[in-house]
Structure 1
Amino acid sequence: MRKIYYGILFITLNLIVKGEIKIKIFEPIRFNDIVREEIGRNISVGRGVIEISTDDLKADMGKKLVFNFPEKGLMTNRKKWIKIEKYRLENRDREIIIKNKIHHVNFYAILDKKSIDGGEDPKVIEGDYVGYVPIIISQYGRVIR
């Protein structure tokens, strides 16, 4: 009987002590004012936010997270598909070092505006575009600098 109590106590302590890093999409990619926000000829940028949070900052402080995005992607408004040319993180090296309990990171989608209008009816083109981005996140130990 003691073994059962000790086993339950050990499991509950083990669950309480372990911290975890949670990563979620805080704000999806939005192309606000697609006509005005362009970085080049016929290229527009959408912005989204990823939230990184940790339960145990003391244990996770200094850990490095590396984000890998696919080269291209798709978004749809359920009537038309548009091609996303590239995904980027706000840092060029695609890595984040955990320093705070909650950290927000911007990521961007680059869109060629020529792919939106192919001569279709405006009712087909208009609407909220939704898409999924498979992000591969690698976690490394503490970075000592």
Structure 2
Amino acid sequence: MDKEPLMNDPESDPPPAYNVQSSQAYYPPFGYPHPDNRAPVHVYTHQPVMSTAMMTTVEGVPSDYLYLSILSLICCWPVGLFAVLMAIKTRDMIAHGNVDGAKETSRKARRIAIPGVVIGCMLFAASVIINIAVRI
């Protein structure tokens, strides 16, 4: 009885070699030079596609005055608290795309924060003057 050769039988003939077509391009891994010292040929396998992109402008985005509001919070916390809330509300409106509402709340944050800093500086100056006057 004739036996069929097993797959891992060392006495069986090896499979035929893979035929590499000469028209196939060789592309070395990224960062390695081409073996012929020539620039590799780039082959594009897809068709160009028309696409449309929406552009948005950043010109109309108002400032939120958060840093000024935090300074106002340090100088005069009751006024600064409202300024910080308006600054955060401005950021939320910018994130949601409501630029007109963000401009309005930005103006409110600035109008509240500046007097808060001025009041805080005036209170600090008054306390220094009073302490100096008491010691004299």
Band of TM-score, shorter chain: under 0.3
* Structure (1/2) with the larger strand percentage: 1
* Structure (1/2) with the larger helix percentage: 2
- Quick check: which has more Rg, 1 or 2? 2
TM-score, normalization: structure 2? 0.26
